[in-house]
Amino acid sequence: MPDSSALLGRILIAVGVVLVIAGAFLVFGKPLRLGSLPGDITISGRQWQAKILLGTSILLSAILTIALSLFLRRR
C-alpha cells in the first residue's frame, strides 16, 4: 500500500490532467463545432435557452471509449 503522500501526488496529477483536457475542449471546442453538431437540440424562449447536446456527447463518448480501450489494452 502506497503511503499517503504518494497517493495524494497521484490524485493531484489526475486532477491536473482532467483540467488540461477540459481547458483544451474549451479552447478548441468552438473551431471543432462542439455544441452545434447534428443531433444537438436548442430550445429557447423569451429570456432563457436550454441546450441538449446529444450529438456532442455521443461523439465524445465514442472518442473516449476508443482512446481508453487502446490505452488500457497496452497495459
- For the chain, the domain total comes to 2
CB contact at 8 A, 35 and 56: yes
Cell of 3: 503511503
Q: What residue numbers bound the domain in which 42 lies?
A: 34-75
CB contact at 8 A, 54 and 39: yes
- Band of residue 2 on the pLDDT scale cut at 50, 70, 90: low
Residues 24 and 52 in one domain: no
Nearest-angstrom CA–CA distance, 24 and 69: 21
Q: What 8-state DSSP symbol labels residue 74?
A: -
Residues 26 and 54 in one domain: no
Strand partners, 40: 53
Residue carrying C-alpha cell 503522500: 5
Higher-confidence residue of 66 and 34: namely 66
Residues 18 and 45 in one domain: no
Residues 64 and 49 in one domain: yes
Residues 4 and 17 in one domain: yes
Residues 55 and 73 in one domain: yes
Nearest-angstrom CA–CA distance, 40 and 53: 4
Tens of pLDDT, residue by residue over 12-53, are 988 888 888 888 877 887 777 777 888 899 999 999 999 998
